[in-house]
Amino acid sequence: MSQTVDRALSILPLLAEGPADLGQVADRLGVHKSTALRLLRTLHEHGLVHRQADQRYRLGARLFALAQEAVENLDIREIAHPYLVDLNEKCGHTVHLAVYEENEVLYIDKVESRYPVRMYSRIGKPVAITVAAVAKLILADLPEGERRALAEKLDYPMYTARSIPNAAAFLKELATVREQGWATDLGGHEESINCVAAPIRGADGRVIAAMSVSAPNVVVTAEELLTLLPLVRRTADAISREYSGGAPARDTPAPHTRAPHTPAHKAP
Amino acid sequence: MSQTVDRALSILPLLAEGPADLGQVADRLGVHKSTALRLLRTLHEHGLVHRQADQRYRLGARLFALAQEAVENLDIREIAHPYLVDLNEKCGHTVHLAVYEENEVLYIDKVESRYPVRMYSRIGKPVAITVAAVAKLILADLPEGERRALAEKLDYPMYTARSIPNAAAFLKELATVREQGWATDLGGHEESINCVAAPIRGADGRVIAAMSVSAPNVVVTAEELLTLLPLVRRTADAISREYSGGAPARDTPAPHTRAPHTPAHKAP
DNA sequence: AATGGCCGTTGCAGATGTTGCAATGAATGC
DNA sequence: GCATTCATTGCAACATCTGCAACGGCCATT
């Protein structure tokens, strides 16, 4: 580990507490002022710290830009894929990954069942939004107003007798899902197929994707499938953690809990 | 300036583009792998980079936490936010807030349009500095010398036919903007999008930030958008007053704004 | 006005940390 | 099974970093 870099990086959390002048920084680092000055200058050139009018230093907005760019380039599919494969190897069933985009829920990854009987679905295809377990999870996390507006606007095709029939029933189901943190689809799309699903959350606690395990009745009963729920949830949580940049040990809340101090606007 | 720290910090923007393995990092830094490894380790210990399952590196959660604190320390954002929300509710369009820092203009807050058609932009992203209305306002207020020097240094990408093409035209536009105290961008960044913007000033009269209202042609014409100018200016002025310590203006008390946000750390 | 204290800044010589090399280990692919 | 690729380690040479002391600007006090 590099001492110089270590010292420089230690300045950042220090400044996060509030602006500080050169002397304060040097003191808290335990180094000579000239050393602190040099480190601060380097941080400054990279835009990580900003010098305000009174010559004190504070964190730079560039930090924010950096974080934002990183979030934008995060590919949930790439991160999740190995976990999906792993889950498939453990349970043998079809595993799906879905995201929300423009009022639709889309499958973006899939690992096929190892059983001969497979269900039909296609990556990139919009899911049956009113019945699919992954859709329920994602929509349940939308802001109240948006959720309601969307629910009213949707069609409720009766794929089977167990399909959700109307907006009221759908909203009620979403409330349940939101409460319990997981979802199922028991024959709501195709008579003989059941799914269990769990949400994947970003660092701010919002649901950014959902994953599910699906299997036809002829292979496992709904009850048997439900026994996989803990595993599915654990996997989803692991993906959430990885997506959020790892378990930062200390002061960041667990990825699957709602951050208490979530800011007004959220990263996409 | 410290070479070691400089190299380490250069890794961050590199990783913001996407995950990279040790070799890639070493190559792009132009150093030996063992050197890159050490720097990455140090960054890792501080939580700024995260090692994913496939052993590649990406930016870590700690960076996001720091970024969060960095913006929270920008008290202009705290103060302005309710006004932005209020303005959005009055006109329905996308509202932006931007500040100047280290030769860049950055969006630091945004309230989304309530119309279905939205423009892209992201908080934290540097704005298109040569065409954005908010950038014009902020740069127009720089001291003569600095303004000219910056103008010469910039690139002038032709996003559209109406983009500002060169330093001379830019300086002329800045003079106009400085004179009139407001700015527009009429299709200079994206053909179909127009903006009107007004400056937010500190107690000493200097421009410390700028806000804008943006809308696509398909929703309102440029002329219609311009009728919002007085409202935008009034809002910006109200923010200026409150920021300068003046009593929060009574005409925009922001009735149902968010709860009093835990302020970060503010010096009296 | 002059003085003293405070703080940021600079140049420098010595010492410490850093660098790149070469070799090892581990994992993957052919 | 062997070859390849990649991360990792120990080490010696060296470049970089460190702390010191001195300078200069700024402000409040005398």
- Select from B4, B48, B81 the Cβ nearest to the Cβ of A2: B4
For residue range A176-188, what is the model confidence (pLDDT) as tens digits?
A: 999 999 999 999 9
Helix, strand, coil share (%) of chain B residues, nearest 5: 45, 20, 40
pLDDT score of A77: 87
Same domain, B53 and B83: no
Same domain, A58 and A92: no
DSSP readout, B59-77?
E-HHHHHHHHHHHHT-HHH
Is A15 domain-assigned? yes
Is A211 domain-assigned? yes
Which nucleotide lies nearest residue A39, CA to C1'? D17
Is B135 domain-assigned? yes
Asked whether residue B261 carries a pLDDT value surpassing 50, the answer given is no
Is A137 domain-assigned? yes
Terminal Cα-to-Cα distance of chain A (whole angstroms): 34
User: Is B21's Cβ below 8 Å from some Cβ in A?
Assistant: no
Is B160 domain-assigned? yes
- Select from A8, A59, A73 the Cβ nearest to the Cβ of B17: A73
Find the helix or strand (DSSP H, E) in which A99 lies: strand A94-101
Same domain, A33 and A153: no
Q: Which residue of A has its CA nearest to B57?
A: A245
Q: Are B59 and A70 in contact (CB under 8 A)?
A: yes
Domain end, chosen from A71, A101, A118, is at: A71
Distance set, CA A88 to CA A70, A78, A133, A214 (Å):
29, 16, 18, 10
Q: Which residues of A touch B15 (CB under 8 A)?
A: 70
CB pairs under 8 A between A and B: 193
For residue range B148-204, what is the model confidence (pLDDT) as tens digits?
A: 989 999 999 999 999 999 999 999 999 999 999 999 999 999 999 999 999 999 888
Same domain, B91 and B40: no
Round to a whole number and report the distance in Å from the CA of B210 to the C1' of D26. 33
Q: Kindly indicate the confidence band of residue B260, based on its pLDDT and cuts at 50, 70 and 90.
A: very low
Same domain, A122 and A180: yes
Show the CA angle centred on residue B100, arms to residues B96 and B104, nearest 5°. Answer: 100
Number of domains, chain A: 2
Is A21 domain-assigned? yes
Same domain, B155 and B191: yes
Same domain, A120 and A234: yes
Domain end, chosen from A71, A86, A103, is at: A71
Same domain, B149 and B17: no
Low-confidence residues in chain A, pLDDT < 50 = 116-118, 248-268
CATH number at residue A83: 3.30.450.40
Q: For residue A64, give the 3-state DSSP assignment.
A: helix
Round to a whole number and report the distance in Å from the CA of B151 to the C1' of D15. 38
Is B268 domain-assigned? no
Q: What is the DSSP letter of A131?
A: T
Same domain, B130 and B87: yes
Same domain, B120 and B101: yes
Question: Residue A143 is part of which domain span?
Answer: 74-243
Q: Which residue of A has its CA nearest to B118?
A: A102
pLDDT score of B94: 92
Tell the burial category of A15 from Cβ atoms under 10 Å away from its Cβ (0-12, 13-18, 19+): buried
Asked whether residue B122 carries a pLDDT value surpassing 70, the answer given is no
Q: What is the DSSP letter of A102?
A: T
Average pLDDT in the B110-117 region? 65
For residue range B221-253, what is the model confidence (pLDDT) as tens digits?
A: 999 999 999 999 999 999 999 988 765 554 444
Domain end, chosen from A54, A71, A88, is at: A71
Same domain, B155 and B98: yes
Q: If contacts are CB pairs under 8 Å, which of residues 30-89 in chain B contact chain A? A: 38-39, 41-43, 45-48, 50-54, 58-74, 81
CB contact under 8 A, B63 and A61: no
Q: Which residue of B has its CA nearest to A15?
A: B70
Q: Which residues of B touch A55 (CB under 8 A)?
A: none
Same domain, B24 and B52: yes
Round to a whole number and report the distance in Å from the CA of A146 to the C1' of C27. 49
